[in-house]
Amino acid sequence: MKDAGGRRDGPLHGWVRGFTIGGTFHDDKAAGTFTGRWPNGRPAGEIVLRNGVAQGRLITWRDNGRRLGECTFTDGKVTTPLVLFDADGRKRVVFEPVAAGQLQLAHVYDVTGREAPAQRSLKEIFPVEHAFLEWVLRHTGTRRAE
């Protein structure tokens, strides 16, 4: 809904690349918990936004309900490692926060939990896309360090 000045104000319900997203805007800024849901109704992810800025824990799930990734935001920047989990719930990839809202690939683990070389591309190591995680990272300006 838009207010008299054309700004967004009130609930948001939309569809973004394979999942629904819901949240609230106040004075044209995202405010409160934004939740993504898969077409099957299961949660895709959750993040709190205050005045349009990510705050607190980001958690994302696969469409089968298993956790995919998690990290913490402070004032719109990732402040804890972004940890990605495989379909069986094992930690597989860890990105460490570095300067200017960037994440750097720090650790890769094989299916046994042992650290593995991170010489292959991320898509080979972790061949899954997750629209909610990508949406949050894009909207917070978080990117992978070169």
Output the six-digit token pair for 40. 């099957």
pLDDT at 4 over 60: no
pLDDT at 9 over 50: yes
Residue owning tokens 């054309």: 6
pLDDT at 77 over 80: yes
Output the six-digit token pair for 6. 């054309």
- What is the C-alpha to C-alpha distance for residues 66 and 86, in angstroms, rounded to an integer? 9
pLDDT digits (tens, 9 = 90+) for 22-68: 888 888 888 889 999 999 999 999 999 888 889 999 999 988 899 99
**Which pLDDT score, from 0 to 100, does residue 7 have?**
63
pLDDT digits (tens, 9 = 90+) for 111-122: 888 998 876 556
Which of these, 96, 98, 99, lies nearest to 84 by C-alpha position? 96
CB atoms within 10 A of CB 118: 15
pLDDT digits (tens, 9 = 90+) for 85-139: 988 889 988 989 988 778 888 898 888 889 988 765 566 666 566 677 777 777 7
Residue owning tokens 């860890």: 94
Structural contact between residues 93 and 105, judged by C-beta atoms closer than 8 angstroms: yes
